[in-house]
Homo-oligomer: A and B are copies of this chain.
Amino acid sequence: MATLKDVARLAGVSVKTVSNVVNGYSFVKPDNRRRVEEALEATGYRPNLGARNLRRGRTGFIALVLPELSIPYFAELAGLVIAAAQEHEWNVLIEQTFGTLSGERSALAALGPHLVDAAILSPEALQVDDFQLAVPSVLLGEHAVDVPIARVGIDNVAAAQAAVRHLVSLGHRRIAAIGAHPHRGTAALRLEGYRRALAEAGLPFVDELVVPALNYHRADGAAAMKSLLDLRTPPDAVFCFNDLLAIGAMRAAAERFVRVPADLAVVGFDNNEESVYSSPSLTSIAPDKAAIARAAVDLLHRRVESTEPVESVETPFSLQVRESTVAR
């Protein structure tokens, strides 16, 4: 692997001059510049990023800390973050926490300024005390604890409210919610949106219609749906706090021969690609994931370049109406 030294020897100039050419410094004699460029070409020089970063005090990496790549929402998001990071010449390091406190703690501990320049976090269990972050960071989505860290995400209350409002507008009166969670910030906000939509429609908030989910996987949605269908009076609609729960719920409904949407309307949250092709396809809240990824990366880039103050970004969302609420 060619180094600056090799190139310099070949071009007959000093190492620093080569470095200057590589870094686009203006004042290099055309003649030398040409020779250096030829030498660069001939040797196929690629800068040693480790050395460069050691010198510059940068690493060229950002961390993306998320629960699990096998969750479609995070996989899609990760893809978009990688693409956005590329524009700032950042490489992305993905850490999986599996949604556990210990996983999140060890992921955070592994990050240091020597490893990454910044971090994008999607925590689910962290406590206030854990947020002693070594590098500029941004939180995705809302979080239960109130910490002075920039956030990027949609207005979860408004989004949930829009979802439930949609169900109300279709005439549903007994609307369930799946995905309540004691410690998850987004869960609380979505529940609040659900509550508000019911209130503004003059519908009662019924405890038995709110089902918790410890994880947000398909299996949890199925289990929750089964318990709802076992009620004396099952719901005529259900708002799931993410698409996986909704997919699981629809699956459970199908197994009980409950027809969606005729007997039960279902709305999800995240707008996974999967939900477009399920049978029936799933009505879902669609956060603008590309906007989230870009906003998070750009925000971090500005934070790293200049010491700007903490600022949060609210990204847009929309409601995608599909067969699970309105039959084709």
Give A residues with C-beta under 8 Å from B. Answer: 1, 46-51, 53-54, 59, 68-70, 72, 75-76, 78-79, 82-83, 91-96, 112-115, 134, 218, 222, 247-248, 250-251, 254, 273-274, 276-279, 281
Contact = CB atoms under 8 A, between A and B. Distances in A.
Contacts of A274: 72, 247, 274
Contacts of A279: 250-251, 254, 278-279
A54 B273 CA distance: 42
Contacts of A72: 70, 72, 75, 274
A277 B114 contact: no
A78 B134 CA distance: 26
Contacts of A59: 50
Contacts of A54: 48, 50-51, 54
Contact of A92 (B51, B94, B112): B94
B115 A49 contact: yes
Given A53-B50, A279-B254, A93 B93 contact: yes
Nearest to A91: B93
A75 B83 contact: no
A47 B46 CA distance: 25
A276 B112 contact: no
B83 A276 contact: no
16 contacts: A49-B115, A50-B53, A50-B54, A70-B72, A70-B76, A72-B75, A75-B75, A78-B94, A79-B96, A91-B93, A91-B115, A92-B93, A94-B94, A218-B277, A250-B279, A279-B279
A93 to B, nearest CB: 5
Contact of A79 (B68, B82, B218): B68
